[in-house]
Structure 1
Amino acid sequence: MGVVLVYDGDCGFCRRSLGWGRRLGVRVEAVPASAVDPGALGLTREQLAEAVWYVDEAGVRHRGHAAIARALRTSRWLPVRLAGRVLGSRPVSPLASRAYAWVATHRGRFPSWLG
């Protein structure tokens, strides 16, 4: 398996976010967590249920906001790639990590128009 973004395919917010990413020019193979063998990625089902994962061609795994940052960096549009770099940068990463954790925990409570 090459570069892949593994997301919660049962989550409306997650599917909607992936659609936003596509409109932002993100070019990464996105696969629902239910369609992958977690062991092949060096992950567990529990890890896949907790967060989005980006696994690069070398098998390096990135979780949560770092996965989103990596995915944004695949965009065909420079401003989106730059946003991915900023999101994954040292100054922004601690805040982005906390924000991602909050969103992941509360994703089922978002209004229906988000999912």
Structure 2
Amino acid sequence: MLVYDGDCGFCTTSARAAQRLLHPSCEFTAWQFADLESLGVSQERAEYEALWVTPAGEVYGGAQAVAKLLLRAGGAWGVLGAVLTLAPVRWIARAAYRIIAVNRGRLPGGTPACATPPRRPA
């Protein structure tokens, strides 16, 4: 399952585009409609990044969630997803994801409501 921010226009548009282009055999759910507790995910984390939740309950966030989605789609997309899991590409993907996430309100479809809340220190 891919969990995304359904209040963010950029995130919603991206999720719909992924469904249309990738045709992955998985569920897409806005975190606002997901049972986060049963998924083992906090609202704070769901607000912060897209999440990939496996049937076994493993949770991957951000760029690794995107990589898992691409792997699930298979074919050339799966190859790209596999590449995104390898160091140092994984580190670059993580940085790129954070830049996009922090600026998603400025991207096409984004609004001020898309702004990523600041992450509290653990």
Shorter-normalised TM range: 0.7 to 0.9
Query: C-alpha separation between the residues in 2 aligned to 1:26 and 1:92?
Result: 23
Which stretch of the first structure deviates more once superposed, 19-28 or 54-63? 19-28
- Match among 92, 95, 98 for residue 95 of structure 1: 92
Aligned residue in 1 for 2:10: 13
Q: Structure 1, unaligned stretches of length 5 or more?
A: none
CA contact (8 A) 1:64 1:97 kept: yes
TM-score when normalising by structure 2: 0.82
8 Å contact from structure 1 (residues 7, 48) kept in 2: yes
8 Å Cα contact 2:5-2:46 kept in structure 1 = yes
Aligned AA for 2:70? L
Alpha-carbon distance between aligned partners in 2 of 1:79 and 1:47, rounded to the nearest angstrom: 30
Gap regions ≥5 residues in structure 2:
111-122
Quote the sequence identity (%).
Answer: 34
Q: CA deviation at 1:90?
A: 1.9
Note the 1:1-115 alignment, pairs <5 A. Answer: 4-22=1-19, 23-75=21-73, 77-112=74-109
> Does the Cα contact within 8 Å between 2:63 and 2:97 map onto a contact in 1?
yes
* C-alpha deviation, 1:91, in angstroms: 2.2
Whole-angstrom CA distance in 1 between matches of 2:94 and 2:42: 20
Structure 1 segments (4+ residues) deviating >4 Å: none
Contact 1:21 1:72 in 2 (8 A): no
- State how far apart, in whole Å, the 1-side matches of 2:66 and 2:109 are: 22
Partner-residue secondary structure (3-state), 1:9: coil
Match of 1:54, SS? strand
How far apart, CA to CA, are the structure 2 residues paired with 1:29 and 1:63?
A: 16
Q: Determine helix, strand or coil for the equivalent of 2:46.
A: helix
Deviation at 1:26, TM superposition (A): 2.5
Structure 2: which amino acid aligns with 1:5?
L
